[in-house]
Structure 1
């Protein structure tokens, strides 16, 4: 139960992150002192509660050290209050300034020049400048065999030009470096004094509006607002006095938390019925995220029999009633057939008709593959988060109807990121997503990366992805190249996608900032602009 002092505060608002599109060079805005964080009036004219605690119900990682994160999503969820990034992705699916106010590629695309924000300090008093950027990037590059090292694989060197200018020499001309700089894996700036700290996993030190108060791995993390003079450079951030992020054991637990006032924001699967009375009274509100890039689907290992037969994989795609799953379990999402989100270049609406729900067609394909009576499909791993266990049961029933019998085994969603490559299971139900707007990075994530394609990538598909990151390509050329790769993956049924979108959030009625997204695509929740009103 919250402390009595918290019961007198209330609610907060959501700021999420929308992400997507091609690299765009934008100029930045100026800084602000920490005094702006306790401004009396919010953007809508409401009185900001500067003494409030914003309580968020979301998964909490086991470590806050970027070197120990297998991918950026979980790290961002737990560290957005303390770590600012060099770039961010805005609601118009474009890169936007954060700690870097502008950036520019050289004519040959092999050098990226960053102009840095001035007057920013880390919470330990260390100035943020070009030397700090160089120290961070080189530190990440030396983190052997880590995801953060892989994110910066294209960077050959870093040169300090001046206190507010740094150059990144690239191994090849590529747009993917922008994706890394907008991510917590590559773009999050840590105080140089803390880079080699043995406590970095539990005590992050950044330029953000908050400092850490306590951390229980996998359970909760608590941040309190910075009080040092000029410590909050962004006037839109730092309005709540503290932020608590808590992992709940189930959807029911989250529902009860937001209904009772224990939590201010929790994830939402899209159904209003459980909250209808509170929604009607204004006690609660919802925010759908139907345009998020996040996708969910079945990842299939084509090296495992009988999944090595394309007709079997195509049969699986025809057997699943995606619309029924969406209607029943994720009503604010969109059914998806091609393994590619709509907002990225290369998406083709016509491709969505390739695998219509057709159990008879599925049975025909299975018979042609030598399985007229179906087969034992083994065990499917299921991410134990949100509505995915219920989605898995629906998929299990659809496959059983055409003769494919599978068993379900739930795993922690974070464990599945690395566990899939080691597991013998032929299928997993998991997020198919990347917190990035770079199409080349998405192609690598879905079709090449051995973490997600542990039995090896399709050689033809690898060839089709080559050159997509060339900065000299026009938007039309890039979209055409991406489209060829996505078409190949769709025709060969390398995945059985289910839906796009992530439901959204349920928040207290006093939450503000729902229309001021800071980061959401790929499932990344960055609530930096969130504040509470009295």
Structure 2
């Protein structure tokens, strides 16, 4: 059915945990009223244009194609370059027109017809047409698993029909009730046909040609990127400011060491730093530098369990993992106050979230009893055995993206050892870790999955349990929202009760910035909106 834009509104981030009172002025975040400037703490006056924002980020995935990357920080950068068909507001999770001015969804959710906005151009001067949309979706389908998120959003894709120059009809072989949310993400963002027609590696290295307010003018692997403002941008969703981007340029630097990123911000060498770590929070607070975050929707950071593995196929082992982890200690000791303890199979900012914290309580005695009842008996060193097999599982992680979680993983090792379960760490280069995950070559894997729709359960946990698959397929085929959310609630309970995944904490990428940086706001899937930022004189 056609949609109508909601009233113009700007959203601010809210802190995920109370910060020390002495630093409250540095990190307090407030909700701005409709049509306001969306500034950060303090009255900075109306937004101004101009200037360069220098931004430090921790890693480079070796790819800047939004339809292929996984990292949240890179997706935020791509969000400033690449627009989507629709926009998902962070406040009420409403969908607003963007590149599509309206759309219709078939009653069975097997087809979506998008009526495109006229006059939209990409940074190479080419126009947005229905042919462009078709080229994008066909290219994602051709990329397959290399489009690691986007390909899962297109499951069952039958094809795109060009109805006319500005009308595209996307058809699925089976219902896809979550597709509207999917096309709001940068992973399904629309790039120019010239970009979509490149091969996979060329797309990674050349950077996307988008229709957004900025264009990528430089990408040097492991060094940085530069975004330059486009002139004449005029098709932002109503929730965001209208017109050109406010900054002249965004200079992105790769700075792997979190302490160096923090030092550069404190010394005034950079304007904004991403992915603030626990060790840096006190330094930033003492310098009165604002820290802001929004909990990511979707699957919390968790231990993904390969239920097909001979050891982890045993439900007692999975339940021991779930009951044997002290989430309060893990999160409180190794992460910032901006990472909430997971309280269910979905993060609390996800539509349809169900609080299941009562089923996730730390109970090492219950973990031990479950293992004993299943025949896993303590060995001489305390690690349990059964039929001569030692209770040992490996934990896979990408060394670059998830290296900062080593303290958390080491503490988890200690906690699980107390119940007789041995965990060995298995670091791999990010690309190899992703390949191992896709091929099923893992026992446990630490990660999360961000998506502002409960269909994140299907994206992350498909083919791990037949009963769960039945529920997740059913919710995808249900167009009535109330009925769909009821099915999603059953799926969440099943994930926890059968320990199909072991939630730890809600994902969040805290950022810190100079007081001269204003307009911090997030999308519905918790990406920083770089095009909303602006600067005043320091």
Name the structure 2 match of 1:382: 397
Partner-residue secondary structure (3-state), 1:335: coil
Matched residue, 1:446 = 460
The answer as to 2:474 corresponding to 1:467 is yes
Residues 517, 535 of structure 2: 8 Å contact kept: yes
1:314-369 Cα offsets, whole Å, 9 max, x none, are: 112111111122222232222225322234455432x3112321222222222222
Q: Structure 2 vs 1, CA of residues 289 and 309 (structure 1 numbering), >3 Å: closer, same or farther?
A: same
Q: How many aligned positions are there? A: 479
Counterpart contact for 1:461–1:485, Cα < 8 Å: yes
Contact 2:295-2:349 at 8 Å conserved across structures: no
1:288 and 2:290 equivalent? no
Q: CA deviation at 1:286?
A: 0.9
Q: What is the CA–CA distance in structure 1 between the aligned matches of 2:71 and 2:295, rounded to whole Å?
A: 21
Q: Does 1:342 align with 2:348?
A: yes
Secondary structure of the corresponding residue to residue 393 of structure 1: helix
Distance 1:118 1:317 in 2: 52
2-structure distance, mates of 1:29, 1:189 = 25
SS in 1 for 2:532: coil
Across the aligned residues of Structure 1 and Structure 2, the Cα RMSD in angstroms comes to 3.0
Helix, strand or coil at the partner of 1:326: helix
Contact 2:61 2:71 in 1 (8 A): no
SS of residue paired to 1:467: helix
Q: In structure 1, which of residues 19, 25, 39 is the aligned counterpart of residue 3 of structure 2? A: 25
Q: TM-score, normalised by structure 1?
A: 0.80
The CA deviation string for residues 132-167 of structure 1, in whole angstroms up to 9 with x for no partner, is: 323333333344554344533444333334443333
Question: Is residue 297–residue 452 contact of structure 2 (8 Å, CA) maintained in 1?
Answer: no
2:187 aligns with 185
Per-residue Cα deviation, 1:455-505 (whole angstroms, up to 9, x for no partner): x52112211222202353242x11221122222221111121111141521
For 2:321 and 2:497, how far apart are their aligned partners in 1?
A: 13
Cα deviation, 1:291-334, whole Å, max 9, x if unaligned, reads 64461111222333432221121112111111122222232222
Aligned pairs for 1:106-125 within 5 A: 106-125=106-125
1:260 to 261, 267, 271: 267
Partner of 2:530: 527
| 1:277 and 2:286 matched | yes
- For the pair 1:89 / 2:88, whether they are aligned, the reply is yes
Residue correspondence of structure 1 range 352-371 to structure 2 within 5 A: 352-371=357-376
- The residue correspondences of 1:289-308 to structure 2 (distance < 5 A) are 289-290=294-295, 292-293=297-298, 295-308=300-313
3-state DSSP class of the match of 2:308? coil
Query: Distance in 1 between the 2:57 and 2:412 partners?
Result: 27
Separation (CA, whole Å) in 2 of partners of 1:108 and 1:306: 40
List runs of 5+ in structure 1 lacking aligned partners.
Answer: 1-22, 31-40, 449-455
Structure 1 SS opposite 2:496: helix
Aligned equivalent of 1:5: none
Does the aligned pair in 1 maintain the 2:247–2:531 contact within 8 Å? no
Distance 1:479 1:81, change over 3 A: closer
Q: In the alignment, does 2:422 pair up with 1:420? A: no
Pair 1:399–1:470, CA change in 2 (3 A): same
> What TM-score, normalized to structure 2?
0.80
Q: Secondary structure at the match of 1:204?
A: coil
Q: After TM superposition, give the deviation of residue 122 of structure 1 in Å.
A: 1.0
Change (3 A) 1:368 1:442: same
| Cα shift at 1:86 | 1.2
User: Counterparts of 1:118-517 in structure 2 under 5 Å?
Assistant: 118-143=118-143, 146-147=146-147, 148-186=150-188, 188-197=189-198, 199-201=202-204, 202-227=206-231, 230-231=232-233, 233-234=235-236, 235=242, 238-263=245-270, 264-269=272-277, 272-279=281-288, 284-290=289-295, 292-293=297-298, 295-328=300-333, 329-349=335-355, 351-373=356-378, 374-375=383-384, 376-384=391-399, 385=402, 387-413=404-430, 415-422=432-439, 424-431=441-448, 433-434=449-450, 436-439=451-454, 441-448=455-462, 456-475=463-482, 477-514=483-520, 516-517=521-522
Conserved? CA contact 1:518–1:529, under 8 Å: no
> Which residue of the partner structure matches residue 60 of structure 1?
60
Instruction: Go from structure 1 to structure 2 and tell me whether the alpha carbon gap of 1:252 and 1:236 turns closer, same or farther (over 3 Å shift).
Output: farther
Query: Structure 1 pair 488/248, CA: closer, same or farther in 2 (3 Å)?
Result: same
Give the aligned partner of residue 11 of structure 1.
none
1:395: Cα distance to partner?
0.8
| Alpha-carbon contact 1:175-1:438 (below 8 Å) kept | no
Cα separation, 1, equivalents of 2:95 and 2:403: 29
Structure 2: how far apart are the matches of 1:191 and 1:503?
29
SS across alignment from 1:457: coil
Give me the whole-angstrom Cα distance separating, in 2, the residues matched to 1:365 and 1:108. 43
Deviations 1:408-463 (A, max 9, x none): 233445643333244754222222x13x3332x31212321xxxxxxx52112211
| Aligned-pair CA distance for 1:101 | 2.3
Counterpart-to-counterpart distance in 1, 2:282 and 2:73: 29
| Cα pair 2:86 2:95 within 8 Å, conserved | yes
C-alpha offsets along residues 190-249 of structure 1, whole Å, 9 cap, x if unaligned? Answer: 22234334643314211112222221224422122224xx24544365211111233332
